[in-house]
Homo-oligomer: A and B are copies of this chain.
């Protein structure tokens, strides 16, 4: 006899894709959520008739899947979306982005622009984001209010930065951010060193020491451009990855972002150290940084996730489109259509990313005991018809196909409406800030 179910939220009549890219979906399934946790996933025929639930959502043949994991973002940069497109990287950064940041980044800006980003992510199916910027206590506040799960990393750079006018105090600022981050139900604090070319060896070592003492992740942009590799080799006689390793930075708690220009030795080194990688294909394409050796990293068994990067360089935060770009880019780059199949992209955008962020096991899959972070996709649309298999999520679905987003057991978006906060106000605030740009 089946055990009776008692739950807070029951999703019924769904195509249940519990572990994207790893197992096929259940055609006619249910997901039961109790509190913040997945209680059960199964076939409708196995749903105990004595099930008691506070609320039922009928997916009406839609697909339920774990929320996606955006492994790298600079949420506050929504303000600079489309500000200066199609420019050479250094001109873009030095003549447009850095000056705009120096003039406009404030506590208020980070709060409102991160809130706008949170809405965009929730509406497009992201339930966990790793964010890296300045004034990150404001980003944490925005994400918490939005109900978005986040790893929030305070930026460290050896220049005067927003909120950190004296670069000599950048590590202290990161430490004080971590201390300030007390409510950790949704938020996990971390540290973000901008890059090997903007952080001195001493800064990198101090940052790693702080991260280690706090048991938290250290994020860093690594080998994003050819120029960076040449500069670091020129300065230190080592590749950027070797440079970090030499300083003791490469281990399981470091997350290397971009990794466009890694050679075979770098890949072996990352694998050996257990360092995870976040790839941002659309940003790397748009800024013409290059094509990361993702197939080689996958073959080596490096933990891998996908990120959107900030939306000054993408220009959106839609992980469905990012999966599509990732899969297609590596096919054409390798001239092999079997490279990076849809199932792989789905895995990287869910459990793969969660593992890199240190949330593996509890996030990125729907299984009893996991965090109740999930999406309902509306399959009843022309561009998702017919539904032959979940590949369609990569090659045809968009973030706009997400009908409902649930994070930590709470419905934060339903029928395309944000329920956790006043989106109209956030958009109005960002538009006002944009007038100053």
Copies of this protein chain in the complex: 2
A92 CB-CB contact with B under 8 Å: yes
Chain B binder among A184-192, A247-255, A313-321, A363-371: A313-321
A396 CB-CB contact with B under 8 Å: yes
CB <8 Å contact, B81 and A396: yes
| A120 closest partner in B (C-beta) | B382
A266 CB-CB contact with B under 8 Å: no
Q: Can you add 18 more A-B contacts, CB < 8 Å, to A116-B385, A385-B427, A385-B430?
A: A79-B386, A82-B387, A83-B388, A86-B327, A88-B337, A120-B382, A120-B383, A285-B328, A285-B332, A288-B332, A288-B339, A289-B332, A290-B335, A311-B396, A315-B396, A325-B328, A382-B426, A386-B430
Contacts of A388 in B (CB 8 A): 81-83, 434, 437
Select A385's contact among B78, B288, B328, B335, beta carbons within 8 Å: B78
CB <8 Å contact, A434 and B386: yes
CB <8 Å contact, B329 and A285: yes
CB <8 Å contact, A288 and B335: yes
CB <8 Å contact, A382 and B337: no
| A401 closest partner in B (C-beta) | B400
Given the interface pairs A288-B332, A389-B82, A396-B311, the reply to whether A423 lies near B341 with Cβ below 8 Å is: no
| A86 closest partner in B (C-beta) | B341
| Residue interface mask A66-110, B partner, CB < 8 A = 1 | 000000000000110111011111001000000000000000000
Given the interface pairs A291-B332, A392-B81, the reply to whether A337 lies near B386 with Cβ below 8 Å is: no
A8 CB-CB contact with B under 8 Å: no
Contacts of A120 in B (CB 8 A): 382-383
Alpha-carbon distance between A398 and B423 when the two chains are bound, in angstroms: 20
Alpha-carbon distance between A387 and B315 when the two chains are bound, in angstroms: 12
Closest 4 CB pairs between A and B?
A386-B434, A285-B328, A400-B400, A315-B395
